[in-house]
């Protein structure tokens, strides 16, 4: 019985994701679904990209969090359209939430849409949001074992961002292991090394984004 319920939820999500995909295509918008653990720097990566590309690219942001509007407030300070989705404890975004947010954010006026998922390496992976690209974000402080432990994210993402590389000297982060685990799961996946704090790698991150437009 329970299995049937889960199946229905997933089927409904797939249908909504298709509507999102169509809506994005009609508006000519590239949407990125950022997935990571809490505190890996998703919001900082979005802020860094906005700072670099503002004036050149029309950017919007959908923020997903269980509670608070803190991330949306950070983005709003950069003067780009932003919509906060509070999942009220829910551990992931679903396509139907994004669909509603698309109307609020006036998607027709955008070129690039960031969707910051709820911080979680498991549940968001299962829910297609209709995004154009999926971005896996890992901070060096979380350890090099994340791709091996959470393979589904790295199998389904198109790019991995390794953030907080400025902390490497203080960590036992085995980057060789990290890279080989990522490429075992997804041989072609680019790994972008970034520090939002020092700005290292930010131009490579924005270059990757610009090439998607
Ligand atoms: Mg955030």
* pLDDT < 50 stretches in the chain: none
Ligand 1 centre to CA of 71 (Å) is 5
Ligand 1 centre to CA of 43 (Å) is 4
pLDDT for 7 equals 87
Ligand 1 centre to CA of 26 (Å) is 28
Provide the 8-state DSSP code for 97. Answer: H
Report pLDDT digits (tens) over 167-180: 999 999 999 999 99
Provide the 8-state DSSP code for 36. Answer: E
d(Cα 1, Cα 207) in Å, to the nearest integer? 48
* DSSP H or E run through 95: helix 95-104
d(Cα 46, Cα 195) in Å, to the nearest integer? 13
Q: Single out the residue of 79, 70, 41, 52 nearest to residue 197, CA to CA.
A: 41
Report pLDDT digits (tens) over 47-95: 999 999 999 999 999 999 999 999 999 999 999 999 999 999 999 999 9
pTM of the model: 0.96
d(Cα 1, Cα 131) in Å, to the nearest integer? 31
Ligand 1 centre to CA of 92 (Å) is 13
């Amino acid at each position: 019985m329970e299995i049937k319920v889960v199946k229905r939820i997933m089927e409904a999500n797939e249908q909504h994701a298709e509507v999102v995909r169509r809506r994005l295509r009609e508006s000519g918008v590239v949407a990125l679904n950022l997935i990571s653990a809490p505190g890996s720097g998703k919001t900082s990566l979005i802020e860094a990209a906005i700072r670099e590309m503002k004036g050149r690219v029309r950017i919007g942001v959908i923020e997903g969090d269980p509670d608070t509007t803190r991330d949306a407030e950070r983005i709003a300070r950069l003067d780009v359209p932003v919509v906060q989705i509070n999942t009220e404890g829910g551990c992931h975004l679903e396509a139907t939430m994004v669909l509603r947010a698309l109307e609020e954010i006036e998607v027709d006026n955008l070129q690039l849409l960031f969707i910051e998922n709820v911080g979680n390496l498991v549940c968001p992976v299962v829910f297609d949001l209709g995004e154009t690209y999926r971005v896996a974000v890992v901070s060096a402080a979380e350890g090099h074992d994340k791709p091996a432990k959470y393979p589904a994210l790295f199998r389904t993402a198109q790019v991995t961002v390794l953030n907080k590389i400025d902390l490497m000297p203080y960590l036992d982060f085995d980057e060789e292991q990290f890279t080989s685990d990522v490429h075992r799961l997804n041989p072609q996946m680019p790994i972008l090394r970034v520090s939002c704090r020092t700005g290292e790698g930010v131009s490579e991150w924005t270059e990757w984004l610009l090439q998607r437009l």
